[in-house]
Amino acid sequence: MIGRLNHVAIAVPDLEAASAQYRDTLGASVRAPQDEPDHGVRVVFIDLPNTKIELLWPLGEDSPIAGFLAKNPAGGIHHICYEVDDILAARDKLRADGARVLGDGEPRIGAHGKPVLFLHPKDFNGTLVELEQA
């Protein structure tokens, strides 16, 4: 079911500093910030030869990453995103296997304009998993 690793997301306390570090110190290709108000984050994508890094910064009062940053003030790996061919079929199988699909279970459009879903970290070895329709 899961396919390519689409991105690894890192929550950061300072998006400009993290972007500059990846661009200047690590010599990576860093895209411009994009606000995702529906998801309560501002994101910066970093293109790697085999996947992407998604830097996440909280946008708005009730950002879903605010709690994570409060617990991890220096930042940290927040989630991993796998691609799936059919996100609704994936959702239904995951539910049938007892995994918790977050939110109301309906895919929402993510940062790449594709439907995404999130799976509870407690069901996947303490790792928040995002699925993105390939």
Residues recognised as catalytic: 130
Q: What are the angstrom distances between the C-alpha of 112 and each of 20, 23, 51, 117, 133? A: 22, 21, 13, 13, 10
List the one residue out of 97, 78, 90 whose CA is nearest residue 13.
Answer: 78
| Binding residue for ligand LZKTLF4L, selected from 44, 65, 84, 101, defined by CB under 6 A | 65
Instruction: Decide: is 54 part of the binding site for ligand LZKTLF4L (CB under 6 A).
Output: yes
Give the C-alpha separation, 91 to 86, whole Å: 9
78 binds, among ligand LZKTLF4L, Co ion, none (CB under 5 to 8 A by kind): ligand LZKTLF4L
The count of chain residues that interact with Co ion, using the rule CB under 5 A, is 4
**Binding piece for ligand LZKTLF4L, criterion CB under 6 A, among 12-20, 21-29, 89-97, 120-128:** 120-128
Residue list 71-110, contact with Co ion (CB under 5 A): 81
Whether the Cβ atoms of residue 15 and residue 55 lie closer than 8 Å to each other: yes
Exposed e or buried b per residue across 97-121, where buried means at least 16 C-beta atoms within 10 angstroms of its C-beta? eeeebeeeeebeebbbeebbbbbeb
Asked if 128 and 100 count as a contact pair (C-beta separation under 8 A), the reply is no
Give the x/- contact pattern for ligand LZKTLF4L in 34-53, rule: CB under 6 A. --x--x-x-x----------
Applying CB under 6 A, the residues found at the interface with ligand LZKTLF4L are 9, 36, 39, 41, 43, 54, 56, 64-65, 67-68, 78-79, 81, 102, 110-111, 116, 118, 121-122, 126-128, 130
